[in-house]
Chain A
Amino acid sequence: MNYIIPLIITFLAGLLMLVAEFIPHKPFESIVSELEIWFMIISGFAIVLGQLSLLKMNFFKIKYKSEGWKYCIVTLASFFIMLLVGIFWGTESHAGLLGQGKVFVDSIGVKPFDFIFNNIYQHLMAAMFSLLAFFIASAAYRAFIARTLESSLLLVSAIIVMLGNTSVGSSLTSFLPQSLNFLHLPNLSKFIMDYPNLAGQRAIMIGAGLGIIGSSLRIILGIERSWIGGKK
């Protein structure tokens, strides 16, 4: 019984979304728009659940002094500082519980939440992703070893696309005559992006789309139940 009601709710919610698409009239239109708001609200609580789960995990690591527990204190401290400044003095577009934080705006130029966001969060995020430039280089070394036809194609298309989008690539083939203009690296790169790449992406999109349609139908019809523990 525990699993039947959730499965019925899933079926009805999925069916409603489908029916409303084909019958865009009352009452389906209004029911679906209401359901979309409910969806947002529950998703919002799901995000809160995610953060609570993060806090719980970190608290337990500190409590049981698991490996690296001292770093969990840093996580919790940064979490609570950001959360509290956001709740008390709000964000750039929202007032907080204590107002607009005018004292901070007058002294540091922005609200504390935005100060942390602009000066720590954004830099950490950019640095973290820029770090991948180094690791992607070593990954490229492994991937680009032309052992088979497939890996050679990967290598050639990646190099052409990379060079074709830089001024170096453009100058490398600038000596080519007008009649061989299509071999000019930027043109070759554009051709790869516009045609073979598009064909591959399109095959992936259609294939993935068909897969998602199949999975969605399985969920709506209650065949796929892994989200409730796969019970029958």
Chain B
Amino acid sequence: MIEFWTSFGIWLGALSTLAIWSFLYKDNPFYKVAEQIFVGISAAYWLVYTIYNILIPNLFSKLIADPVANWIYFIPGILGLMMILRIIPKFEKLSFYPLSLLIGTTAGISLLRFLKSDVLTQTTATMLNPFAATSLTVTIGQIIIIIGTITGLVYFYFSKKHEGFIGANARVGIIFLMVSFGASFGYTVMARISLLIGRLQFIFGDWLHLIK
């Protein structure tokens, strides 16, 4: 019985893949159906995930186990319900209260997180002494990092017009940014192609058994 369901699963996967790939010909009903199934399943998956991993352990299990001792969790529960009321236009304004707590907390967390990880850590890591490096390649590389980071930042400085000294620096900065975008693009292309190869292996291997 399990063998049948395994084969059935492979067929479902293969037909789903072919339905999505049919878009390469043109937009068609098979693609649209597959796309809508993806949307529906995806939405339900995240809802079930949220219920089991967030709402039950953090809220419902506490309130069911000991509502008196955990009375404080009625507050986020009520705020959550107020959030859901946003779906009814008449009660939309009630959602501002839970939203304000979410936004305030997110702003506080983001401010600290980005200050530490993106600004301070990255700035500290750029404070290099290239001439203390062990090889010429590393020395050149570290000089590139220092110049590239500073000029890249100058490019993002929009409070002053990019002309003269600032303009020249910004021009150097954009060169580094373009190299960076090119490298990122190359990696993205490779990731997508490796996904495509994975799909082809599934179709020709698991489904059609043409390759091992």
Binding site for B on A (CB under 8 A): 2-3, 5-7, 9-18, 21, 34-54, 56, 68, 71-72, 74-83, 86-87, 90-91, 93-94, 107-109, 113, 115-134, 136-137, 140, 143, 149-151, 153-162, 165, 182, 191-210, 212-213, 215-217, 219-220, 227-228
Contact = CB atoms under 8 A, between A and B. Distances in A.
Given A194-B141, A199-B149, 8 more contacts: A3-B96, A44-B58, A54-B43, A126-B198, A140-B185, A140-B189, A191-B137, A203-B152
Nearest to A192: B183
Contact of A133 (B23, B34, B108, B192): B192
B144 A203 contact: no
Interface residues of B, number: 122
Contacts of B97: 5-6, 9
A46 to B, nearest CB: 6
Contacts of B208: none
B5, B47, B58 pick with most chain A CB within 10 angstroms: B47
B84 A45 contact: yes
5 contacts: A42-B76, A52-B84, A52-B87, A157-B186, A200-B178
Interface in B1-38: 1-2, 5-6, 8-10, 12-14, 16-17, 20-21, 23-24, 32-38
A105 B29 CA distance: 33
Nearest to B154: A203
A118 B9 contact: yes
Interface of B: 1-2, 5-6, 8-10, 12-14, 16-17, 20-21, 23-24, 32-52, 54-56, 58-59, 72-73, 75-77, 79-81, 83-84, 86-87, 93, 96-112, 114-115, 117-119, 122-123, 125-126, 137, 140-142, 144-153, 155-156, 173-190, 192-193, 195-196, 198-199, 202
Contacts of B106: 39
B14, B20, B141, B146 pick with most chain A CB within 10 angstroms: B20
A42 B98 contact: yes
B178 A154 contact: yes
A207 B154 CA distance: 9
A6 B96 contact: yes
A91 B56 CA distance: 14
Contacts of A39: 101-102, 105-106
Contacts of A43: 54, 102
Given A18-B108, A107-B2, A115-B9, A120 B137 contact: no
Nearest to A227: B103
A202 B48 contact: no
Given A133-B195, A192-B183, A213 B119 contact: yes
A124 B151 CA distance: 43
Nearest to B143: A195
A165 to B, nearest CB: 6
Contacts of B35: 71, 128
A77 to B, nearest CB: 7
B92 to A, nearest CB: 10
A51 B84 CA distance: 10
A127 B155 contact: no
Given A42-B76, A124-B41, A216-B110, A203 B155 contact: yes
A82 B190 CA distance: 32
A172 to B, nearest CB: 15
B80 A42 contact: yes
Nearest to B84: A49
Contacts of B45: 82, 86, 117, 121
A31 to B, nearest CB: 11
A202 B126 contact: yes
Nearest to A203: B152
